[in-house]
Structure 1
Amino acid sequence: MPIYNITHVTQYIYDAPVIDSINQIKIYPFHGGDQNVIHQDVTITSDPSIHFFLDYWGNRVGVFSITEPHTTMTIDSKIIVQTMEKPMQIMKPLSEIIRLDYSKPYIIQSNDIIDDILSMSPKNGDKRELTEWCSQYINANFEYKKGVTTIETTVDEILEKKQGVCQDFAHLLLHMLRTLGITSRYVSGYICPNRNGMRGQGATHAWVEAWLDDYGWYGIDPTNNMWVTDTHVKLAVGRNFNDCSPVKGSFKGIANQSMNVYVSVGFEDGHIIEENNDVEMHQQKVQTPIIVPKQFYMQQQQ
C-alpha cells in the first residue's frame, strides 16, 4: 500500500491588476475504498475562505474569491495519500439519469471511422473484454506526443492526427465505449509510477472508468494500456475534461494572463518526479473594464 506525497501548484500571472477573482477548484482526491487521504493542505494567495460542496458527479469542490487587486494568484495543494489495490465493490445500482449522462457518445463527423474500428472488436458482448480491446487499439495506433493538441481538441481531430496525450486518449476511449453501449466516465488525477517510466508520470493525468455490470466502476488507462492500479490517484470524475477541470473561474480587469503549473510526486524511498509547465493563456484585450472569464485550466493532463 504505497504512500505518495504530491505537490500541485497552479499560478496565474496577470500583466495588470485584476479584482473580484472568483474560482472553483477540483483538486481534492477521492477518499475511501482504494484511496486514503492522510492529509491535504491547500494554500491560496490572500488566504481566502474556501467553501465546499459536492457536485452532481460526487466530486468535492472548493469555491473562493479574491476581491482586492492582485497580479498573481497561486493555488498550492500538498497531499499525502495512500492507495490500495482496487477492492471488490459491494454493488450499488447506477441511477438511470447518471447512466444516461455517461452513455451519450460525442457528436462527431467521423462516425464512419469509429464504426470501422469497432467492427474489429470482439463480438461476444463481454464489456470487460471490449473495454480492454478499445484501450489496446488506442495504445497501438495513436502516438503519445505532447504539444500537438489542446484542451479544445475534438475527437475528430484526434482521429485525424493520430497523436495526443492522456486527455485526448481518454476522450477517444469514452466515445468508443459509449458507441458500444458501455457506460463510462472521464477521470482526472495523478499517476505515480516511481521509476517505471510510464506516460503521464509526474503530472496531472487522465483515464477512464467503465461501468461493468458484475463489478461497478473500473478504471482503465489507455495512455499506458493498463487497468488502473495503486499507482493512480483519483481527483475528479465527469462526462469529459470540462466536468473535471482542476481550476476555473472569472475576474474583473483589463489584463492578459498566463499560467504556470508545477507537479511533483514524492515516494516513500525519497525519489521525486517533477513536471513544470509554463502555459500561455489566450490573450484578453479589452478597452474598458469588464468581467473577463478566466480560461479553463490550460495545462493539459498528460
Structure 2
Amino acid sequence: MATFNIVHTTKYQYNWPIKESINEIRLFPHDFENQEVIQFELLITNNPHVDISKDYYGNRVGNFNSLEPHKELTIEARSIVRVNHSRKIPEIDTIKVQDLANDIENSIYLQRLTTPETIDNQKEINLILKKLKLAEKPITAIAQECNKYIYKNYTYTKGITNIETTIDEILEIKKGVCQDFTNLLLQLLRTVGIPSRYVSGYICPNESGFRGEGATHAWVEIYSPTQGWLGLDPTNNIWTMDSHVKLSVGKNFHDCTPVKGTFKGLARQTLSVCVSIGYEDGRHFEEVNDVQLPEISIEQQVQLDYIEQLQIKQRLHQQQQ
C-alpha cells in the first residue's frame, strides 16, 4: 500500500490575448477497488464552472470555458491517492483467446477494444507474434511475452517521438517512450484477439529505478473473464504495482488525453506540464516538460509574422516620437 500527493499542473501561454477557450479535461484519478481517492481539488485560472460527467469508458470528464481575453491558462489538479494492488502479479490463468469469444460477441465495448489499428506494416506485427510462438498459451502468458518482447527489443529514448508518432514509425526506429510502447503492445494483443485498453496515469518513483517514473505515464490493461482488467507496463516489463496511479482508460491516447481544447484568436502558444509527487515520508519529486505542440499552418504563420512586424514598427515609431 502506498499514498501519494500528486499535483498535475498544465500551463498554456500565448503571446497575444486569446478568447473563448473551450476545454475538456481527464485529470480525475479513478476510484476503484485497488485505488482510493482520498482528496481531490481542481484549480483553474479565473475559476470557471466545470461540468463533470462520465464518458463511454467510465472516465470522469470535466468541461469548462474561459470566454474573456487572456494570455495564460493554468489548470492544476491536486490529488491524494492511496494505491493497494493486492495482486501485483495475476493469478495463474488458464483462459485462452478462444475462451473469450462469447464475452466479446456479447459486448460492443470489448469488440472495440479487440480491433487493432489499421497500419501500413501489419506484416511486421504478424511476424513478431509468429516469432513468439504464442499459440495455445493462456492470455496472461501471451500478454507477458509481448510485454517482455517490447522491453527487450525497443529502447527507451525521450525526445524523438510525440503524441502523433505512429505505430509504423515505432516499428521502424525501435525507440520511444511509454506511450509508444503502449500503442505497440495494444496492436500486438488486439491482433491476437485479446481485449486491451490504453491507460493514462502516473508512475510514482519509490527508489525503484523505473523508466518513465515521476511523470505522466501510460500502460495497457487486458481483459480476463475471471480476473477483470489486469495492467501491464511494457516500458518496465512488469504488471502494474502500487506505484501506478490510474487516471483514465480508452481505446487509445486520444480517449485519455489529460487536457485538450481550442480557442479563438491568432497567437503563438506554449505548453508546459509539471507533475509533482509527494510521499508519506516527506520525500518529493517534480518533473517539468515543455510539450511540443503541432505546427501551425503556413497561412497562420504568415498572419502572425505580419502582426509581429506591425507591432515592431509601432514600437519603433513610439520610440522616435
- TM-score, scaled to structure 2: 0.86
Cα offset, 1:86, TM superposition: 4.0
- Specify every segment of 5 or more residues in structure 2 that has no aligned partner in the other structure, as ranges: 92-102, 305-321
Q: Does 1:117 align with 2:128?
A: yes
| Whole-angstrom distance in 1 between the partners of 2:86 and 2:198 | 18
User: Which residue matches 1:27?
Assistant: 27
User: Which residue matches 1:97?
Assistant: 108
In the TM superposition, what are the counterparts of 1:291-302 in structure 2 within 5 Å?
none
User: Which residue matches 1:173?
Assistant: 185
| Whole-angstrom distance in 1 between the partners of 2:62 and 2:130 | 43
Q: Does 1:150 align with 2:162?
A: yes
Q: Secondary structure at the match of 1:120?
A: helix
User: Which residue matches 2:291?
Assistant: 279
User: Which residue matches 2:74?
Assistant: 74
Cα offset, 1:14, TM superposition: 0.7
Cα offset, 1:99, TM superposition: 0.8
Are the aligned partners of 1:237 and 1:244 in contact in 2 as well (CA < 8 Å)? yes
Are the aligned partners of 1:8 and 1:261 in contact in 2 as well (CA < 8 Å)? yes
| Whole-angstrom distance in 2 between the partners of 1:272 and 1:38 | 19
Are the aligned partners of 2:270 and 2:291 in contact in 1 as well (CA < 8 Å)? yes
| Whole-angstrom distance in 1 between the partners of 2:86 and 2:135 | 28
| Whole-angstrom distance in 2 between the partners of 1:104 and 1:123 | 19
Q: Does 1:212 align with 2:224?
A: yes
Q: Secondary structure at the match of 1:242?
A: helix
Letter in 1 for 2:114: S
Q: Secondary structure at the match of 2:74?
A: strand
Q: Secondary structure at the match of 1:170?
A: helix
Say which one has the larger Rg: 2
Are the aligned partners of 2:201 and 2:216 in contact in 1 as well (CA < 8 Å)? yes
Cα offset, 1:193, TM superposition: 2.9
4+ runs deviating over 6 angstroms: none
CA RMSD of aligned residues (A): 1.7
Letter in 1 for 2:81: V
Are the aligned partners of 1:194 and 1:273 in contact in 2 as well (CA < 8 Å)? no
| Whole-angstrom distance in 2 between the partners of 1:272 and 1:31 | 23
Cα offset, 1:272, TM superposition: 1.4
Are the aligned partners of 2:162 and 2:292 in contact in 1 as well (CA < 8 Å)? no
| Whole-angstrom distance in 2 between the partners of 1:144 and 1:280 | 18
- TM-score, scaled to structure 1: 0.91
In the TM superposition, what are the counterparts of 1:4-43 in structure 2 within 5 Å?
4-43=4-43
Letter in 2 for 1:225: N
Cα offset, 1:283, TM superposition: 4.5
Q: Deviations over 1:155-203 (max 9, x none)?
A: 1000001000000000000000000001100000000131111111110
Letter in 2 for 1:216: G
Q: Does 1:202 align with 2:214?
A: yes
Letter in 2 for 1:58: G
Cα offset, 1:123, TM superposition: 2.3
Cα offset, 1:120, TM superposition: 2.2
| Whole-angstrom distance in 2 between the partners of 1:99 and 1:125 | 20
In the TM superposition, what are the counterparts of 1:245-264 in structure 2 within 5 Å?
245-264=257-276
User: Which residue matches 1:295?
Assistant: none
User: Which residue matches 1:267?
Assistant: 279
Letter in 2 for 1:259: L
User: Which residue matches 2:85?
Assistant: 85
Cα offset, 1:211, TM superposition: 0.7
User: Which residue matches 1:107?
Assistant: 118
- Specify every segment of 5 or more residues in structure 1 that has no aligned partner in the other structure, as ranges: 289-302
Are the aligned partners of 1:21 and 1:66 in contact in 2 as well (CA < 8 Å)? yes
In the TM superposition, what are the counterparts of 1:56-71 in structure 2 within 5 Å?
56-71=56-71
Cα offset, 1:213, TM superposition: 2.6
User: Which residue matches 2:150?
Assistant: 138
Q: Secondary structure at the match of 2:131?
A: coil
Q: Does 1:224 align with 2:231?
A: no
Higher helix share: 2
| Whole-angstrom distance in 2 between the partners of 1:283 and 1:111 | 28
| Percent of aligned positions that are identical | 48
Q: Does 1:233 align with 2:245?
A: yes
Shift of the 280–149 alpha-carbon distance from structure 1 to 2, 3 Å rule, reads closer
User: Which residue matches 1:242?
Assistant: 254
User: Which residue matches 1:292?
Assistant: none
